[in-house]
Amino acid sequence: MSYDLYFARRAPGQSWEEALEEPRSPDLAAWERIVGRAREILGEVRIVEYPPNWEMDHEGTGISVNHWEGGWEMSAPYWTRGEDARRTVDVLYEVARVVERESGLECYDPQVGLPLADITDTARAVEAFDTVADRFGRRTEAT
């Protein structure tokens, strides 16, 4: 299970579901810029490239950025809760803003049902981490 973010370019009045189904082409220039900026934020990341798919993973947070067949998405496992979850969400959203800026796409957070640009408080996102952690027995802060 993971906390997922999706990226799309929506036409006026278009739903997120419709926009996410639109075919896209890989953007390797954006991928390279995103990898560079993500390294500035996350530090060391693991890169796996098998065109038309590219993946970047950060071991410490579990944050993953995927550029699959032209689509973009991000995820983070529900490893943390409380203050650690808040830090993970903050970093996840920071990298998502980089993906938005470099890809020209808009980020959507289905867990809170909002575009990233409309999220002013991370409390609902952190609550999602806490709920899953509680459900699976992770009741303490991560170490």
Q: How many CA atoms lie within 13 A of 1 on its CB side?
A: 11
User: H or E segment at 66?
Assistant: strand 64-68
Q: What contacts 41, CB < 8 A, 6 or more positions away?
A: 91, 94, 95, 98
Q: Give Cα 106 to chain centroid, integer Å.
A: 12
DSSP state of 70: T
Domain residue limits, the chain: 2-138
Q: How many CA atoms lie within 13 A of 9 on its CB side?
A: 11
Residue 78: how many CB atoms within 10 A of its CB?
20
Query: Cα separation of 3 and 61, whole Å?
Result: 12
Residue indicated by tokens 């490893």: 79
DSSP labels, 14-48: --HHHHHHS-----HHHHHHHHHHHHHHH-S-EEE
**pTM, to two decimals:** 0.92
Convert the pLDDT of each residue in 122-137 to its tens digit. 999 999 999 988 887 6
Convert the pLDDT of each residue in 82-138 to its tens digit. 999 999 999 999 999 999 999 999 999 999 999 999 999 999 999 999 998 888 765
Whole-number pLDDT of residue 139? 47
Q: Which CATH class is domain 2-138?
A: alpha beta
Q: Give Cα 107 to chain centroid, integer Å.
A: 8
Look up residue 111 and give its amino acid.
Q
Look up residue 73 and give its amino acid.
E
DSSP state of 78: S
